[in-house]
């Protein structure tokens, strides 16, 4: 049971009056002493209602002990103690979003006062441009929501909250970006433009394997099986997200290793690359150092810098009239070419490393629509030919 009393306190010479209720939450498992909790409010009626709810949840077994932790304090604990299972880059991204977006807006709010509408207002404010800040993209809002959802899910599991207030939030719609793969004519122009370029083999292999940028730059010789004609893709090159961070080989974005079997012509390109690297090694002499055993390196064996590779790529695609093309569009170009050449979606999914065939279809469904239309027209021509013979 609980009781309500009127309390008057004086702070800095000014008196404040409020109502307070105290109730017994239970007993400490170690000492056996009663655990006393208090509820306060401006009016007796307000406190009585809060007390009624607290006592009812105690009877029902759904009681959650109140916590004075703010969201900011909990996020500090969460990032420090509950992110052991994520990659370093993911942890760094979480911390950056918390520091930049979540804490400045919601950090001072107590966990027990964090409600769905408050979080919804926060999400909505992120998408509005003001004089002091630009609007963030719907995808960024989704990422922030994912972080907050995970953190509060753990808070619920720890007994700090009754439920997760992010569950019923409505996220802004993410508009799909139109894919801009190179078509057949642009592919020919691209291959002509990179002829003799220092990154010719890198660009060509990427175009005909669908590797992501980090996967191509992180490809190592021990992952290439020339006898079987296959490549194991299970690592990517990534720079540590900290001042002075080094480039390291880390697991894939989705932790889904895959083995691909490129066209024999592509495997020959990799053999050519091996010979090219031997020449670089001989010229560099003692200055040669390739500690990561990378396939694509500079003339001294060091890893290639992504920004440098992308800059050269942009110069080339601009020269062929496609300044809008991104390095990632080489991957899209490979996928579209695979589907058009007759590969089934399941095979394309496996080669690209997508989690499901449904995702591959969602991304490249327009290509299969075009193929269905072409199939329809071929069937129309076939039917017309048959009917013409029947009516002769």
Give residue-wise pLDDT tens across range 221-238.
Answer: 999 999 999 999 999 999
Concatenated DSSP letters of 177-211 = PPP----HHHHHHHHHHTTT-TTHHHHHHHHTT--
CB 200 within 8 A of CB 194: yes
pLDDT of residue 66: 61
Residue 253 lies in a domain: yes
Lowest-pLDDT range of 22-26, 221-225, 316-320: 22-26
- pTM (2 decimals)? 0.69
DSSP class of residue 286? G
Give residue-wise pLDDT tens across range 192-219.
Answer: 999 999 999 999 999 999 999 999 999 9
Task: Give residue 63's pLDDT band: very low, low, confident or very high (50, 70, 90).
Answer: low
Tokens at 1, concatenated: 């049971």
CA distance 349 to 343: 10
- Same domain (yes/no): 228, 257: yes
- Same domain (yes/no): 93, 46: no
pLDDT above 70 coverage of the chain, percent: 93
Tokens at 31, concatenated: 């000492």
Residue 15 lies in a domain: yes
Total domains in the fold of the chain: 3
Residue 170 lies in a domain: no
Range of the domain at 153: 71-157
- Same domain (yes/no): 46, 119: no
Task: Give residue 131's pLDDT band: very low, low, confident or very high (50, 70, 90).
Answer: confident
Q: How many CA atoms lie within 13 A of 348 on its CB side?
A: 26
- Pick the last residue of a domain from 60, 81, 108: 60
Query: CATH number, domain at 317?
Result: 1.10.443.10
């Amino acid at each position: 049971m609980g009781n309500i009393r009127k309390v008057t306190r004086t702070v800095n010479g000014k008196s404040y009056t409020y109502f307070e209720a105290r109730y017994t939450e239970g007993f400490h498992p170690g000492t056996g002493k009663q655990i006393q909790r208090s509820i306060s409010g401006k009016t007796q009626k307000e406190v009585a209602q809060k007390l009624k709810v607290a006592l009812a949840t105690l009877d029902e077994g759904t009681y959650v002990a109140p916590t004075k932790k703010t969201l900011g304090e909990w996020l500090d604990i969460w990032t420090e103690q509950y992110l052991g299972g994520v990659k370093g880059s993911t942890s760094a991204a979480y911390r950056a979003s918390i520091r930049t977006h979540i804490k400045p807006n919601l950090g001072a709010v107590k966990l027990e006062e964090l409600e769905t509408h408050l979080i919804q207002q926060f999400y909505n404010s992120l998408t509005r441009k003001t004089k002091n800040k630009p609007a963030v993209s719907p995808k960024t809002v989704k990422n922030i929501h994912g972080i907050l959802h995970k953190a509060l899910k753990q808070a619920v599991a720890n007994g700090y909250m009754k439920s997760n207030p992010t569950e019923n939030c409505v996220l802004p719609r993410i508009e799909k970006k139109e894919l801009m793969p190179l078509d057949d004519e642009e592919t020919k122009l691209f291959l002509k433009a990179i002829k003799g370029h220092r990154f010719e083999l890198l660009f060509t292999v990427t175009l005909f394997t669908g590797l992501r940028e980090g996967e191509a730059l992180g490809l190592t010789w021990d992952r290439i099986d020339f006898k079987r004609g296959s490549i194991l893709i299970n690592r990517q090159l990534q720079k540590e997200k900290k001042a002075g961070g080094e480039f390291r080989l880390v697991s894939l974005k989705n932790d889904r290793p895959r083995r691909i079997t490129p066209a024999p012509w592509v495997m020959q390109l990799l053999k050519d690359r091996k010979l090219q690297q031997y020449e670089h090694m001989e010229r560099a002499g003692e200055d040669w150092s390739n500690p990561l055993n990378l396939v694509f390196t500079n003339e001294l064996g060091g890893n290639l810098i992504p920004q440098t590779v992308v800059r050269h790529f942009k110069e080339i695609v601009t020269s062929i009239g496609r300044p809008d093309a991104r390095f990632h569009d080489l991957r899209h170009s490979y996928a579209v070419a695979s589907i058009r050449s007759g590969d089934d979606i399941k095979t394309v999914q496996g080669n690209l490393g997508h989690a499901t065939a449904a995702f591959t279809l969602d991304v490249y469904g327009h290509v299969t629509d075009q193929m269905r239309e072409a199939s329809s027209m071929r069937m129309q021509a076939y039917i017309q030919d048959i009917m013409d013979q029947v009516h002769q």
